[in-house]
Chains A and B, each alone.
Chain A
Amino acid sequence: MNINFSLLVPEYVLVGVAFAVLAADLLLPRQHRFHLSWLAAGGLVVSAVVVLVQRWDTAEHLYGGLFIADRFGLFFFVFLTVLTAVIVLISHDYVRQHIRQPGEFYALMVFAAVGMVGMAQAGELLTAYVALELLSFSLYVLVAFRREDAHGNEAGVKYIVLGAFSSALLLYGISMVWGATGTTYYAGISEHLALNAGNLDSTLILGLALIFAGLGFKVAAAPFHMWAPDTYQGAPTPVTAFLAVASKAAAFALILRLFTQGLLPALAEWQVLVAVLAVATMVIGNLVAIVQTNIKRMLAYSSVGQVGFLLLGVAALGHVEGGVVIPVTLASDAVMLHLVGYAFANLAAFATVIVVYNHIGTDELSGYSGLAKRSPHLSLVMAVALFSLAGLPFFVGFITKFYLFTAAAESGLLWLAGVAMAASVVSLYYYLMIVKRMFIDDVPESDITSALIGIPRLSWLLLSALLIGTVLLGVYPGPLADAVGAASSAIFSGA
Chain B
Amino acid sequence: MNGFDDSVLSLLVVLPFATALALILWPGDSDQLRSMKWFSAVVALVSTALVAWILLRFDYTDGSQYQFISETAWLDQLGIGFDLGVDGIAVAMLALTAIAFPAAILVGWNVDARSKDYLILLNLLVGGVYGTFVSLDLFFLFFFYEIAVLPMYLLIGFWGSSTSFPRFTRSKEYSAMKLVLFLVGGSVLIWVSIIAMFVEADLNSFSLLDLQRAGFDESFQNWVFPLLMIGFGLLGGLWPLHTWSPDGHVSAPTSVSMLHAGVLMKLGAFGIIRVGIQTIPEGAEAWAPLLLGMGAVNVIYGSIAAMSQTDLKYVIGYSSVSHMGYVFLGLATMHTLGVTGAVLQMFSHGIMTALMFTLAGAVYGSSHTRDIGALSGLAKVMPVGAFFFAVAGFASLGLPGFSGFVAELLVFLGLFQTYPWVGALAVIGAGITAVYMLRLLAKVYFGETDPRWESLPDLKLNEKLVAGMLALTLLIVGLAPFYLIDIIREGVRHVPTVTG
A interface list, Cβ under 8 A from B: 330, 333, 387, 392-394, 398-399, 402-403, 405-406, 409-410, 414, 417-418, 421-422, 424-425, 428-429, 432, 435-436, 439-440, 477-478, 481-482, 485
Among A399, A439, A477, the residue within 8 A (CB) of B154 is A439
Asked if B180 is an interface residue, CB under 8 A from chain A, the answer is yes
A387 to B177 alpha-carbon distance, docked (Å): 15
Chain B residue nearest to A394 in the complex (CB): B147
A429 to B76 alpha-carbon distance, docked (Å): 33
Q: In the complex where A477-B75, A478-B74 touch, is A432 in contact with B153 (Cβ < 8 A)?
A: yes
User: Within 8 Å CB of B142, what residues of A?
Assistant: 393
Among A333, A398, A429, the residue within 8 A (CB) of B177 is A429
Q: By the criterion CB–CB under 8 Å, are A440 and B143 in contact?
A: no
Asked if B198 is an interface residue, CB under 8 A from chain A, the answer is yes
Q: By the criterion CB–CB under 8 Å, are B158 and A439 in contact?
A: yes
Among A333, A398, A399, A440, the residue within 8 A (CB) of B158 is A440
Distance (whole angstroms) from the CB of A442 to the closest CB of chain B: 11
Distance (whole angstroms) from the CB of B354 to the closest CB of chain A: 25
Q: In the complex where A392-B146, A425-B185, A439-B154 touch, is A409 in contact with B75 (Cβ < 8 A)?
A: no
Q: Which of A333, A393, A398, A402 has the most CB of B within 10 A?
A: A393
Asked if B78 is an interface residue, CB under 8 A from chain A, the answer is yes
User: Within 8 Å CB of B198, what residues of A?
Assistant: 406, 409
A-B contact pairs, 27 of them (CB 8 A): A330-B77, A330-B78, A333-B77, A387-B150, A392-B146, A393-B142, A393-B143, A393-B144, A394-B143, A394-B147, A402-B78, A402-B139, A405-B195, A406-B195, A414-B199, A417-B191, A421-B191, A425-B188, A428-B180, A428-B181, A428-B184, A432-B153, A439-B154, A439-B157, A440-B154, A440-B158, A478-B76
- Give the contact-size bracket for chain B: 20 to 34
Q: By the criterion CB–CB under 8 Å, are B181 and A429 in contact?
A: yes
Other A-B contacts than A409-B198, A439-B158, A481-B77, 6 sampled, CB-CB below 8 A, are: A392-B146, A393-B146, A406-B199, A409-B196, A417-B192, A440-B158
1/0 per residue, CB under 8 A from A, across B165-199: the answer is: 00000000100010011001100100110011011
User: Within 8 Å CB of A436, what residues of B?
Assistant: 157, 173, 177
A455 to B317 alpha-carbon distance, docked (Å): 45
User: Within 8 Å CB of A428, what residues of B?
Assistant: 180-181, 184
Chain B residue nearest to A474 in the complex (CB): B143
Among B78, B117, B144, B157, the residue within 8 A (CB) of A403 is B78
Distance (whole angstroms) from the CB of A423 to the closest CB of chain B: 10
Q: In the complex where A414-B196, A421-B192, A432-B177 touch, is A406 in contact with B154 (Cβ < 8 A)?
A: no
Q: By the criterion CB–CB under 8 Å, are B188 and A421 in contact?
A: yes
A424 to B196 alpha-carbon distance, docked (Å): 18
6 nearest A-B pairs in the assembled complex, by CB-CB distance: A421-B188, A393-B143, A409-B195, A409-B199, A393-B146, A440-B157
User: Within 8 Å CB of B150, what residues of A?
Assistant: 387, 392
A333 to B147 alpha-carbon distance, docked (Å): 25
Distance (whole angstroms) from the CB of B173 to the closest CB of chain A: 6
Distance (whole angstroms) from the CB of A482 to the closest CB of chain B: 8
Q: By the criterion CB–CB under 8 Å, are B199 and A410 in contact?
A: yes
Distance (whole angstroms) from the CB of B129 to the closest CB of chain A: 13
Chain B residue nearest to A401 in the complex (CB): B191
User: Within 8 Å CB of A393, what residues of B?
Assistant: 142-144, 146-147
User: Within 8 Å CB of A414, what residues of B?
Assistant: 192, 195-196, 199
User: Within 8 Å CB of B158, what residues of A?
Assistant: 439-440
User: Within 8 Å CB of A398, what residues of B?
Assistant: 143, 146
A399 to B82 alpha-carbon distance, docked (Å): 14
Among A417, A422, A440, A485, the residue within 8 A (CB) of B77 is A485
A99 to B181 alpha-carbon distance, docked (Å): 42
User: Within 8 Å CB of A439, what residues of B?
Assistant: 117, 154, 157-158
Distance (whole angstroms) from the CB of B233 to the closest CB of chain A: 17
Q: By the criterion CB–CB under 8 Å, are A422 and B191 in contact?
A: no
User: Within 8 Å CB of B74, what residues of A?
Assistant: 478
Q: In the complex where A405-B191, A409-B198, A428-B181 touch, is A435 in contact with B77 (Cβ < 8 A)?
A: no
User: Within 8 Å CB of B192, what residues of A?
Assistant: 414, 417-418, 421
Q: By the criterion CB–CB under 8 Å, are B146 and A435 in contact?
A: no
Q: Which of A403, A428, A440 has the most CB of B within 10 A?
A: A440
A381 to B185 alpha-carbon distance, docked (Å): 25
User: Within 8 Å CB of A330, what residues of B?
Assistant: 77-78
Q: By the criterion CB–CB under 8 Å, are A435 and B154 in contact?
A: yes
Chain A residue nearest to B77 in the complex (CB): A481
Chain A residue nearest to B142 in the complex (CB): A393
Q: By the criterion CB–CB under 8 Å, are A435 and B153 in contact?
A: yes
User: Within 8 Å CB of A399, what residues of B?
Assistant: 75
Q: In the complex where A402-B78, A409-B199, A421-B191 touch, is A440 in contact with B184 (Cβ < 8 A)?
A: no
A414 to B196 alpha-carbon distance, docked (Å): 7
Q: In the complex where A394-B147, A402-B78 touch, is A422 in contact with B188 (Cβ < 8 A)?
A: yes
A424 to B188 alpha-carbon distance, docked (Å): 9
Residues of B150-168 contacting chain A, CB below 8 A: 150, 153-154, 157-158
User: Within 8 Å CB of B191, what residues of A?
Assistant: 405, 417, 421
Distance (whole angstroms) from the CB of A433 to the closest CB of chain B: 8
A34 to B450 alpha-carbon distance, docked (Å): 72
Q: In the complex where A417-B195, A432-B180, A439-B154 touch, is A406 in contact with B147 (Cβ < 8 A)?
A: no
User: Within 8 Å CB of A422, what residues of B?
Assistant: 185, 188
Distance (whole angstroms) from the CB of B89 to the closest CB of chain A: 23
Distance (whole angstroms) from the CB of A26 to the closest CB of chain B: 47
User: Within 8 Å CB of A432, what residues of B?
Assistant: 153, 177, 180
User: Within 8 Å CB of B144, what residues of A?
Assistant: 393
A421 to B144 alpha-carbon distance, docked (Å): 17
Chain A residue nearest to B139 in the complex (CB): A402
User: Within 8 Å CB of A429, what residues of B?
Assistant: 177, 181
User: Within 8 Å CB of A392, what residues of B?
Assistant: 146, 150
Residues of B331-373 contacting chain A, CB below 8 A: none
Distance (whole angstroms) from the CB of B469 to the closest CB of chain A: 31
User: Within 8 Å CB of B75, what residues of A?
Assistant: 399, 477-478, 481
Distance (whole angstroms) from the CB of A226 to the closest CB of chain B: 29
A421 to B187 alpha-carbon distance, docked (Å): 9
Chain B residue nearest to A403 in the complex (CB): B78
User: Within 8 Å CB of B78, what residues of A?
Assistant: 330, 402-403, 406, 481
Distance (whole angstroms) from the CB of A463 to the closest CB of chain B: 15
Distance (whole angstroms) from the CB of A248 to the closest CB of chain B: 24
Residues of B59-118 contacting chain A, CB below 8 A: 74-78, 117
User: Within 8 Å CB of B199, what residues of A?
Assistant: 406, 409-410, 414
A21 to B47 alpha-carbon distance, docked (Å): 57
Chain B residue nearest to A414 in the complex (CB): B196
User: Within 8 Å CB of B117, what residues of A?
Assistant: 439
1/0 per residue, CB under 8 A from A, across B25-51: the answer is: 000000000000000000000000000
User: Within 8 Å CB of A478, what residues of B?
Assistant: 74-76
1/0 per residue, CB under 8 A from A, across B384-424: the answer is: 00000000000000000000000000000000000000000
User: Within 8 Å CB of B185, what residues of A?
Assistant: 422, 425
User: Within 8 Å CB of B196, what residues of A?
Assistant: 409, 414
Among B139, B153, B184, B195, the residue within 8 A (CB) of A425 is B184
A409 to B200 alpha-carbon distance, docked (Å): 9
A95 to B372 alpha-carbon distance, docked (Å): 61
User: Within 8 Å CB of B143, what residues of A?
Assistant: 393-394, 398
Distance (whole angstroms) from the CB of A369 to the closest CB of chain B: 13
Chain A residue nearest to B147 in the complex (CB): A393
A429 to B78 alpha-carbon distance, docked (Å): 29
User: Within 8 Å CB of A421, what residues of B?
Assistant: 188, 191-192
A481 to B143 alpha-carbon distance, docked (Å): 18
Distance (whole angstroms) from the CB of B222 to the closest CB of chain A: 16
Chain B residue nearest to A329 in the complex (CB): B77
User: Within 8 Å CB of A333, what residues of B?
Assistant: 77
Chain A residue nearest to B156 in the complex (CB): A440
Chain A residue nearest to B227 in the complex (CB): A418
A422 to B189 alpha-carbon distance, docked (Å): 9
1/0 per residue, CB under 8 A from A, across B405-446: the answer is: 000000000000000000000000000000000000000000
User: Within 8 Å CB of A481, what residues of B?
Assistant: 75, 77-78
